[in-house]
Structures are given as C-alpha cells and as structure tokens.
C-alpha cells in the first residue's frame, strides 16, 4: 500500500494568541500547490499575511489581519 499526502491546509491562527479566528478561515489552494510555502503564496493572493508571534510563524486571514475595533 502506498500513502500519498493529498494536500496541505493553512488555516488562520486568529487575531491574537488567546482568540480563535471568528471565520475558521483556511487558504483556498490552487491545483498546483502541494507544499506549505506554496499554499501560503496562494493565501497572499487572497489577502492573507504571515507574522512572527512568540517565535512562531502565524497565518492571518484578512478578517484577523485587520481586526475592527468594538462598536
């Protein structure tokens, strides 16, 4: 039997270390993207950013990248 990895998912890490992403967002990958860096590149075209937080790479969807202040 052969096991093949079929995809990589990059999901939003939320606006801060204590808050989940309100949209439970994940990057929509293209057909040719098979590695995490390729999927993150797809995310950048969709408005995602990556930031270092507490020494780790964090992925942020557009909603968490630019959080709106409470009304």
- Is 19 buried (19+), middle (13-18) or exposed (0-12) by CB count in 10 A? exposed
Binned at pLDDT 50, 70 and 90, residue 64 comes out as very high
Greater model confidence, 30 or 67? 30
How do the domains of the chain map onto residue ranges?
A: 1-71
**pLDDT tens track for 11-22:** 999 998 899 999
**pLDDT tens track for 26-60:** 998 888 888 888 989 999 999 999 888 888 889 99
Q: What confidence score (pLDDT) does residue 42 get?
A: 92
Closest CA to 42 of 34, 16, 67, 56: 34
Asked if 18 contacts 36 with a C-beta cutoff of 8 angstroms, the reply is: no
Q: What confidence score (pLDDT) does residue 29 get?
A: 80
């Amino acid at each position: 039997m052969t096991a093949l990895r079929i995809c990589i998912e990059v999901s939003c890490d939320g606006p801060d270390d204590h808050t989940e992403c309100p949209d439970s967002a994940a990057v929509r990958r293209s057909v040719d993207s098979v590695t995490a860096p390729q999927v993150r590149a797809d995310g950048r075209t969709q408005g995602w950013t990556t930031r270092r937080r507490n020494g780790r790479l964090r992925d942020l969807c557009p909603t968490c990248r630019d959080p709106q202040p409470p009304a």
